[in-house]
């Protein structure tokens, strides 16, 4: 048998297979013109005036018909009634985004990759801005961008090994060069930034109508101006505002960034979350905190993200307030206490295979959410993070909103995505990565 004959037989088999598959599909679809194998109905459509062709075809086959533009079928909705019934009355089922191959080719099927650091920093920062300053900022506002830049740098610097050395040998800080000097400069910038905000608030303060945190603090300052032991001072106002931004902005944005990296790395987890979002929330309203109690898998994923990333490995240092006998040891008053949150969050008895990202750590055998006494991402005790409620709210609302509207794609192979932190000092900082958000 010659090669030409063999090739002819193979092509004939492929032709017959294509014809058989088309006929099988057509039995389940709306009626339409008979397609040719491979090219479909392309010869029956005027590519210079597709609307006219669809109008003519609708006269023959009705308001809902099937066209094969190539090998894949497309169902055409023609006229108001058909379009309304599909896209409005059955909007949930028709809400997916179809493929435009030319765009997919241009964008390699992904859309433009981006580093999510900036946008995920702006959102929680603006939440704190609305609490402290009353107003939110445009993401292109120069003052806002300077504030963001300083906050980002501070967390990065605080997580370097050099800062740990400085913290352990404070007497040498003033005599050595290093990035701790940049940190001090950034804090000086923030101090002046908050001072300027405070002065503006003083000029427009209405004690009967406080607008934000600064106004409330200034009113309390006025009430206690004759108290020599008051803690409500200008300096404490500046430091308090700084604490709110440091604790309420970077920790949340870093967690969100790490969350997207893990969801990118584990598409099977992301798909389950999106399925739960579709079931509980749908696509016609925004997520609310009331939804969380009805979304056990999503709740487990959020808990596992925080457990796995171990954002603040040793939390903030504590100190004992008096001499104390602890486990047969005497700890003198003022002694620094470092609590290893990592040792709790990665306890292998409570969380089997703790180095593995597994939402099952927070699910029981029936798929219901399972609480754990070992869940300490916000620390615990008297100095538990006061912003825990706000942070949990932001994480849920931001991530469910993103996954409700976008699929996540990686421009690199998932095997090449590293989820190990690049710094693991004060904060566990995720590695830089690119992500594509494709509309659902």
Q: What is the pLDDT along the chain (440 residues), one digit of tens a residue?
A: 566 666 666 556 555 555 555 555 566 678 889 888 878 888 888 866 676 787 888 899 988 888 887 777 888 877 777 666 766 666 556 544 555 453 444 445 447 677 887 778 888 888 888 889 888 888 888 888 888 888 878 777 777 777 766 666 666 667 777 777 887 888 888 888 889 999 999 999 999 999 999 999 999 999 999 998 999 999 899 888 888 887 788 888 889 999 999 999 999 999 999 999 999 999 889 999 999 999 999 999 999 999 999 998 878 778 888 888 888 777 878 887 888 888 899 999 999 999 999 999 999 999 999 999 899 888 888 778 878 888 999 999 999 999 999 999 999 999 999 999 886 667 888 899 999 999 98
Residue by residue, what is the 3-state secondary structure of 206-263? CCCCCCCHHHHHHHHHHHCCCCCCCCCCHHHHHHHHHHHHHHHHHHHHHHHHHHHHHH
pLDDT at 232: 93
pLDDT at 95: 44
pLDDT at 99: 53
374 and 351 in contact (C-beta within 8 Å)?
yes
Give the total residue count for the chain: 440
pLDDT at 288: 96
The two three-digit tokens of residue 309, written as one number: 């990333």
Greatest CA separation for the chain? 108
């Amino acid at each position: 048998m010659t090669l030409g004959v063999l090739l002819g037989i193979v092509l004939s088999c492929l032709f017959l297979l294509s014809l058989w598959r088309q006929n099988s599909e057509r039995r389940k679809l709306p009626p339409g013109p008979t397609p040719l194998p491979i090219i479909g109905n392309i010869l029956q459509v005027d590519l210079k005036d597709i609307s006219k062709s669809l109008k003519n075809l609708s006269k023959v086959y009705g308001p809902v018909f099937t066209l094969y533009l190539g090998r894949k079928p497309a169902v055409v909705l023609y006229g108001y009634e058909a379009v309304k019934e599909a896209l409005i009355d059955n909007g949930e089922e028709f809400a997916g985004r179809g493929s435009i191959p030319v765009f997919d080719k241009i964008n390699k099927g992904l859309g433009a990759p981006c580093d999510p650091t900036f946008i995920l920093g702006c959102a929680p920062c603006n939440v704190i801005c609305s609490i402290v300053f009353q107003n939110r900022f445009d993401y292109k506002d120069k003052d806002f961008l300077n504030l963001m830049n300083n906050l980002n740098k501070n967390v990065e610097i605080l997580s370097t090994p050099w800062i740990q050395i400085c913290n352990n040998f404070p007497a040498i800080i003033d005599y050595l060069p290093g990035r701790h000097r940049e940190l001090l400069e950034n804090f000086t910038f923030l101090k002046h930034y908050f001072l300027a905000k405070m002065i503006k608030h003083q000029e427009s303060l209405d004690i009967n109508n406080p607008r934000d945190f600064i106004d409330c603090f200034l009113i309390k300052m006025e009430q206690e101006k004759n108290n020599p032991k008051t803690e409500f001072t200008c300096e404490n106002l500046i430091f308090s505002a700084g604490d709110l931004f440091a604790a309420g902005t970077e920790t949340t944005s870093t967690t969100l960034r790490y969350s997207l990296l893990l969801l990118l790395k584990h598409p099977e987890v992301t798909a389950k979350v999106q399925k739960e979002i579709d079931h509980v929330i749908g696509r016609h309203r925004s997520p609310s905190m009331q939804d969380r109690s009805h979304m056990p898998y999503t709740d487990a994923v959020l808990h596992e993200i925080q457990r796995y990333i171990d954002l603040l490995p040793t939390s903030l240092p504590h100190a004992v307030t008096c001499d104390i006998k602890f486990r047969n040891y005497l700890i003198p008053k003022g002694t620094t206490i470092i609590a290893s949150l990592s040792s709790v969050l990665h306890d292998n008895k409570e969380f089997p295979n703790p180095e593995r990202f597994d939402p099952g750590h927070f699910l029981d055998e029936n798929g219901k959410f399972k609480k754990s006494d070992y869940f300490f991402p916000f620390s615990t005790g008297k100095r538990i993070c006061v912003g825990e409620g706000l942070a949990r709210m932001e994480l849920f609302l931001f991530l469910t909103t993103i996954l409700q509207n976008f699929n996540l794609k990686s421009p690199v192979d998932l095997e090449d995505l590293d989820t190990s932190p690049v710094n693991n000092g004060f904060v566990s900082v995720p590695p830089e990565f690119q992500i594509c958000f494709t509309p659902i």
